Each structure stands twice: as structure tokens, then as C-alpha cells.
Amino acid sequence: MSTVQKLRVAAIGTGSLGRHHARNLAEIAAAGRVEMIGICDADAATASRVANDNGCSSFADWRSLIGKVDMVSIATPTETHCEIACAFLDAGVHTLVEKPIALTLAESDRMIAAAAASGAKLMVGQLERFNPAMVALRPKVDNPLYFEIHRVSPFPNRSLDVDVVLDVMIHDLDAVQWLVGADVAVSEIRAVGIPVISDKVDAANARIEFANGAVANITASRIGTEKIRKTRFYQTNSYVVLDYATKFASVTSLNPEAAHPLLGISIDRLKINDVEPLRAEIEAFFDSIERDELPPVTGEDGRRALALAVGVLEKIESHASMLKLK
């Protein structure tokens, strides 16, 4: 009787999010689904400490993992994504890379090409797709027309290797494109952003218009005093509320045949299966590997979100020049 060999996995990067990747991989390994090979960080002491917390080996050089693993998660600074991911993809190692997929579109193209050449799977960690509120809501989305989105994070808790657009707004850029339709082109972008307490854009607003007439107004900030993750949008005969932070989603519908508008209103507070989004994301990647299917968020999906983010940044740059902020 043949046995199926477990995937050998490792986590690369032990920053604020990387530690959660490591924990989830270790917990999934403890449950018997995969084999945890280790945790890697350029800071050997940190790698050792996080590895000890998760009962596995530590590595200070990600290159030493090549040949030892079948899958890696990469949660390192964005500027390193392409080099690290391409090395593993070239070696046939399935790769989950945190958002944004890369720093530039050219780098994302290299990563996608590496995956295609080797046959290894590349998935991008667009975490909000796996938020229980979004999972419950997604089947009820039907031709969304207008979005109002606010995403605010306290400054001390954010990475500063990229600006707020690539850091936090990209979650909503990905979600809006996913809900409107990946095949629906962007027709116009207007954006403004300013550096407040760093040398990169810390707060930004973007208005995005799609070829089908849908419009999204997105505000993102990493200098708030509270955590806000709210999306509201309108579609034919319904109004949708989505709160990623509290894992809440509701659909307010109007029955056009009701005798009076007030008599035709109903509010459906969706039932949420409260699971950790990152756990769901990683498990979904394992599912795609085991079934030999496309990952839920492909490299092309990640590139599409990055392309929209680049478009927003270009408009911010243009606006900054006009205001002489440069």
C-alpha cells in the first residue's frame, strides 16, 4: 500500500505577519497535514527564537532551504520577494508570497514566468479574500456599482518598506477588481496621497472607474488612532456592508414589487464561519497543490492588483508635483 508523502514546508520572514505564517504552518504540521522543516530569517537570533516557539529548526539563509522543502511562504520586505520567490520557483518549490506580489510589474512577470516554466504553483497572499465575512458575502455579490471603502491602521504597527498604497490599500484594490470582475478594465484613476510622518505616502485616496460603469472610492491611511476595515457598496436593489475587522457582513435588499418601499426592505446579517483568514489562505493553497488546481489567488491576480496600485501611485505622483510636494 502506497503512502502519500507530506509536503515539506518552511516559513521565510519572521516580521509581524511572518510570525503568523510560521505559527500556522507549525500548527498545520502538528495536525499531520504537512511536515514543518523550519523557519528562516536573516536575523539568526530571531529565527532561532521563533523556531523554538514553534518546535522546528531555524535557518538564517533562505538559500539553504532549497532542496529541503516542497513549499515555502515568503513574508519578507517587498523588495526581496522576486529574488527569493524566483529561486524557489525555479527549483520547483510551490510558493506563497505575501502581498504585494513584488515591487514592480517587471518583477511580478519574472515570478509568473518562473512558476510557468517549472510547474510550481505561485499564490499571492491577498488575505481579505479569506476573511470569513468576505467568504460569506462573495456568493451574494451581483454587479456592484459603487464602493465606499475606508482602511485605517495605527502607524507604529505598519511596515515602512513601501508606501500606504502597496502596504494596505492593495487589499481593497484587489477586492474591488475581484468583485467587479477580473475581465472588466479600469477606465480612469484619480488619486491623491501625502507623506505625513514618513518619507513615503502615508495617507491616500483613489477614485477608480471601470469600463462597465462601476466606481470605487478608496481611502487608506496608516497614521490613524484606530483600526478601520470597512467596505460599503451598492448593487441593483441591495446595499452591502462588510467589516473585515469585526468579521461582519450584511445585505440590505429592496423588493421592487412591494406595495411601499419601506415594506420591501429586508436586512440579511450573514452567518459567519469564524476562522482565521491566514489559516484559511494557507489551507487553500495546500488544497490547490494536492488537487493540482490553480491557487485561489494566482500570480496573475497579484499582478493585476499591483498594476492598479502602480496606476494609483502614478496619479499620486502627478498630483504631488502639482502641489509641489516633491
162 within 8 A of 210, measured Cβ to Cβ: no
- What is the reported pLDDT for 224? 87
Q: Apex CA 13: angle with CA 9 and CA 18, to 5°? A: 85
Whose CA is closest to 281, among 98, 108, 35, 76?
Answer: 98
Give the helix ranges, DSSP H, for the chain. 18-30, 44-54, 81-90, 105-118, 132-137, 164, 170-180, 277-291, 299-323
Which domains occur in the chain, in start order?
Answer: 7-126+278-297 (3.40.50.720), 129-275+308-323 (3.30.360.10)
Q: How confident is the model at residue 1 (pLDDT cuts 50, 70, 90)?
A: very low
The set of cell numbers assigned to 317 is 505622483
Tell me the per-residue pLDDT of 131-142, one tens digit each, with 9 for 90 and over.
Answer: 999 999 999 999
Could you give the CA distance from residue 43 to residue 27 in angstroms, rounded to a whole number?
23
Tell me the per-residue pLDDT of 132-186, one tens digit each, with 9 for 90 and over.
Answer: 999 999 999 999 999 999 999 887 655 677 899 999 999 999 999 999 999 999 9
Mean pLDDT of 284-293: 98
* 298: DSSP letter: B
126 within 8 A of 306, measured Cβ to Cβ: no
278 within 8 A of 285, measured Cβ to Cβ: no
* Residues above pLDDT 90, as percent of the chain: 85
Cell 532561532 sits at which residue? 48
Could you give the CA distance from residue 128 to residue 4 in angstroms, rounded to a whole number?
32
pLDDT of 2 strictly over 50: no
Q: What are phi and psi of 78, to 5 degrees?
A: -55, -35
252 within 8 A of 225, measured Cβ to Cβ: no
Could you give the CA distance from residue 126 to residue 282 in angstroms, rounded to a whole number?
11
- According to DSSP, the β-strands at 186-194 and 144-154 are unpaired
pTM here is 0.93
Amino acid identity for residue 146 in this structure? Y
199 within 8 A of 324, measured Cβ to Cβ: no
35 within 8 A of 9, measured Cβ to Cβ: yes
Q: Give the DSSP per-residue string, 266-277.
A: EEEE-------H
Q: Apex CA 234: angle with CA 231 and CA 239, to 5°? A: 85
